[in-house]
Structure 1
Amino acid sequence: MLMSQAAQRKPGPGGARGPWESARIVETPLANRLTLASMFVFLAKIGNLPHLGHFEIGKIMIGLSVLALLFEGGGWKEGLLSHPVMRAYIGLFFMGLMTIPISIWPGGSARFLFGNYLKDMVLVVLLIVTTRTPKDVRRMLWTIIINTLILDAVLLHYGDNKITIVHLGKNEIAMTSVIAFGMLLGLPVSGFGIIFKWLSGIMLVFATFMSVSRGSYLGIAAVLMLYMYLRFGRRAGLAMVGGVLVALALVVGAYEFGPPKVHHAVDTLVHIQKDYNLTARTGRIAIWKRGLKIIQAHPLGVGMRNFPIAEGHIVEDVIGERWMDAHNALLEVTAELGILGGIVFLTLLKRGIQTANHLRKNTSHRDMSRIGLSLVLALCAYFVTALFLSEAYAVILYIQMGAIIAADRVYRYMTMREGHVVSRPGA
């Protein structure tokens, strides 16, 4: 076991010893590996492949991870519940719980909260408490990237009309690909890892363009521009121009050499006034307006996963245009969990980006700074793509939050062992 020597060190601010100074870190290699393996079920959805769906692989993997954690000593729990990002995450769960009685469909909300959402929370907590070193954090990010590459392979093999085999749509896979691309840009590599990083990046970008998800096109551009800005510092203007040029080169290349569906997607971005999203009743603008009406009529929320039902009632006199998803994560969560739920969701995102950016700015540990950069870029990817998708409860978002919490805890423990006091952003 690796034991903290913090008891012999000076107290934290105010003379009190905090959880970082008295932390007892237990080695849990088996639980960590099993938890990372579980991600292939939760994120890559391999449990949905033919002949595997009846075996409940996800529950089996999580059960094995929990048993391994208990056997190896329980992991590293100190300070977890007091972490500002974790508090916001738990707050979102309680908002879902509180809205069940007033839900339009209480049974559906309860089933989603205790089935999908709570199961994802267990995975996230396992990821956090079994992560102890920068190497563990890097391993987690690479596992996310490899999971995404599997999804991309499924998308490219089956096509965007037949990917129900993994119970994900092309837009969701594209969003995950942009997030993984952001993570990949910041990760430090050497040797063969450089080649693998380049090949992975090409695969992620190619799959994103083949998905014809225009929100993800914008996400790729935003991630590239932010990366250039953060990497080149004072030469921000030149960096932004470089990012724009790289993004334009990717779009032009996709347009020139891609199939007709990619041409059409790029055309609608250039000639946006012709896009159905601006004019049709099934377009995003019309749906967003109806979503605002839902919030106005139900400020306390309509319940998790009940937006399509509420939206269907608003246009119940129209055949063929009902039961639409929100196509905007913030609108989705605010309509379903109420205005307070929307505030909690924004708080979660704000604290996540603050924590990741604080990690990126540290000057004492370069490796952790690059990990912070990866996490900032990944959250930027989510911010942009989720503006156009109903992905407020996407497992990839909460896995990101788990990675941010884990990386922050590891960094704080490292600095405490070195005798430094680290302020906490977003507290």
Structure 2
Amino acid sequence: MQKILDAILAGEREAVGSLPVPESYRGVTVHEDEAGLFEGVATRDKDPRKSLHLDEVPTPELGPGEALVAVMASAINYNTVWTSIFEPMSTFGFLKRYGRTSPLASRHDLPYHVVGSDLAGVVLRTGPGVQAWKPGDEVVAHCLSVELESSDGHNDTMLDPEQRIWGFETNFGGLAEVALVKSNQLMPKPKHLSWEEAASPGLVNSTAYRQLVSTNGANMKQGDVVLIWGASGGLGSYATQFALNGGAIPVCVVSSDEKADICRKMGAELIINRSSEGYKFWKDDNEQDPREWKRFGARIRELTGGEDPDIVFEHPGRETFGASVYVARKGGTIVTCASTSGYMHSYDNRYLWMNLKRIIGSHFANYREAWEANRLIAKGKIHPTLSKVYSLEETGQAAHDVHRNAHQGKVGVLCLAPEPGLGVTDPELRAAHLTAINHFRGV
């Protein structure tokens, strides 16, 4: 592995393909025999530092249409937090189901799960049938894993019945020194970004693109008022950028003055600090407070000059969903991709059906959407929101911080990269966008 790293750091990409692939590598794992580790513990008190391990694991067999990638950097997503606390279920069920689909897929059914759904790195090897990529290529990977043997997936690959999220519903993820991906997960690494910056947008950037911009999501247009929950977070920070870049009008909901300042740095002007303004959408665990929905809607109209949101960018889930349905304009769209505060949503359906509103479910992105989202990163139109970088050994702490929401934007992890800041091959483009690239650093 050291020889591979030395070749990458020296810029000798052609040499990478001639070096032997190591028989094993270090990867961040959860263990099947620890799936009951947090039984009886409240969700907020479950500690990823206890369940995420850095293990030496065997390098998986390379199959047709696949690639092995030397991972220079990765990032933390909330799915890694879910995996680490075994909620809403153990991911070993996903691996077992996948393993039953074919002899090749059985590689994934192991008593350990190498996690992580982002990477930036260098292709080590490609399997039979791969022509678009070769050893030495600098790449990032999106997290959609599909088989595409069913017709259902050929209009939108997210509808493939064997669609999975790599590193969450499959093994051999990106929080490791080596990762196994399908070749159609690969995209060119943005040349003006460091390894850790390039690794951080993948999952959330593509998710926000489909959810907000794509015709499969809200199909945002110029002038749309877009209410964005958690607008400075890992997902919301990209939604805010897409809204601004696409001529829409973001209304950014945040929970602190510091987060409000981040949104202003990105160029947003309409901001609601839900903490300082004291919004409490639930009277107790069982009953919501429609008066707070109305107060919230009035505040939005105050900021927009009397307009309700055309689009509500939803991902908190249970805590906010009733308010989201209420405040959307007549004929408006609530598009949801997650439920970080709870999966069981409740809302007053009168405000939906009588006002002709729509709820759209959106999950990650297909290859085309991910490619377009990455292209905008590569052209300097959308920027990474990386705030902090951890070592591979510190992955448990990184996931713990994300679990406690003690972070802004995205949290990166150095895998093979020995230090931050490496991997930039277009310094001129970087210099033109350096301020925007660093908006979240140190926050």
- Structure number having the greater strand percentage: 2
Greater per-residue helix proportion: 1
| Larger RCO (alpha carbons 8 Å, 6+ apart) | 1
Same fold judged by TM-score > 0.5? no
TM-score w.r.t. structure 1 length?
0.29
